[in-house]
A and B are shown apart, each in its own frame.
Chain A
C-alpha cells in the first residue's frame, strides 16, 4: 500500500471532492482508479505486507476531524479496514467490484459517524456524490474491453440515485502514477516560478497533449501514446531544462521579495 502514501494520491482525493466527508469516501474511488492502472496489480504479487501507511491513517484522522465525526480515530480505523479488505479482494477477484462496494459501505459509516450535529443531510449528499462518481467511473472502465459484467448492485445504486454527475477528474488512464506525480510537481514549480515553463509551441504536439491531460485530470483519447509522450517530456525536461530551476534557500537569506 506504499503508493497510497504518495503525494498524488492525496492530491487526487482533494481534486475529486471538496468537503471532508466526501473526501473520506473519495479515497475509495481514487484507490480503485489506482489499482486498475497498468502494472499495479503485479506490484502486489506475492506480498503479504499491505499494511496501511502512517501517513494515510493520519490523513484519514485529520479529514474525519474536519468532517466533525464523533470519534475520528475510530472512523479512520474503520475506513482503513474497509480499504485494506477491498484492495485484497480486488486483487484476488477483480470482477467483484470490491472497491465500489467498499465505497458504499464507507458512505454508510461516514454518514452515521458525522450525523449527530444536524448536518446529516449535507454529508449524505456530498458522500452520495462521491459514490455516484465511483460507480460512474467504474462503469466507464467496465465499458473498456475486456468488459466484465456490471454487478447488479452497482446498477441498482445508479438507478436509485438521481444525482449522477459525470466523473470530472478521473485519473488519466494508463499513466504511471510516479510520472503523474512528477508532472503535477513540475506544474507546481512552473506556477511558483521555480522552473521556467517551456514554450508549448516549441514542443512536439503529442507531448503537449499528454502534459495538459495530466495537469487538467482529463482522460486521454490515446492512453498508450500519452504514457510515452509524458515520459519523453519528463526526460527531455530533466536533461534540457531542469538546470534552470532556481530553488530559493529555505532560510530566506537570498530570497528576493518584490514590493
Chain B
C-alpha cells in the first residue's frame, strides 16, 4: 500500500533546500527519530544536488509505504539528464565526474536502507531510496 504524497521540482539550489525540508517533515510525520530525519534530509540533499549538477533539473517524489508494522519513506529522484554510463562505478566511494567529492551517490546509499539506481546514457537517471522506521519493541 502506498500513496504519492508530494512531487517537487529540482532546478535551483533553493529547491535542494525545499526538498530536504519537505523530506524531513514527512519523516517526522512517519515517526522517524530526529537522528533519522537528519540522515534522510542529508541523503535528499546529496541526490538533489546530483540532479542539479548533472541534469540541471529533475524532480523528487515522496511516498510512504507500509510493510507490516513498519513504515517506509520512499524517495524517488528522477531526471532526464545525460544518465550514468557505469552505475556500479558511480556507487563506489571516491568516484566523481563532476570534480565534486564523489560522495553523492555512495554517501546517500550509506544513509538509507534501500537504494536503487536506474540509468543509462541518454536515458536519464532514477534513484529510488527508502528508509524504514524501526518497529517498536
Answer yes or no: are A and B bound together in one complex: no
- Chain B residues in the interface with A (C-beta under 8 A): none
